[in-house]
Amino acid sequence: MQPLKDRSALEALLAADWAIQDDRDALQKTFRFKSFVEAFGWMTRVALHAEKMNHHPEWANVYGTVEVTLSTHDAGGLTELDVSLAQVMDKLAG
């Protein structure tokens, strides 16, 4: 598992509304879409990437809102995989 080496990529995420969770080494962001269909469509596209990466989000959806937590369970904290998946999520959210 690749530990975080690119601090600048993490800084860029923190400037784009991602946050480090208080009580856990994990990235968090709340995505808001106009409708349930838009939210779920985005989740479906992200899920296909996540499966390819073999790296899966913790997330919860209510109508157009998706709360996301990213952490590498196998490593007990943040790795490059979390940064990559966060970047994919931002890109697909447009």
Ligand X SMILES: C[C@H](O)[C@H](O)[C@H]1CNC2=NC(N)=NC(=O)C2=N1
Interface with ligand X (CB under 6 A): 54-56, 72-74
CB of 7 to ligand X, least distance (A): 20
CB of 68 to ligand X, least distance (A): 11
Q: Residue 44: which of 33, 24, 27, 71 has the closest Cα?
A: 33
CB of 93 to ligand X, least distance (A): 19
Closer of 24 and 36 to ligand X (Cβ): 24
Q: Give CA–CA dist 77/24, Å, rounded.
A: 8
Q: Which amino acid is at 86?
A: A
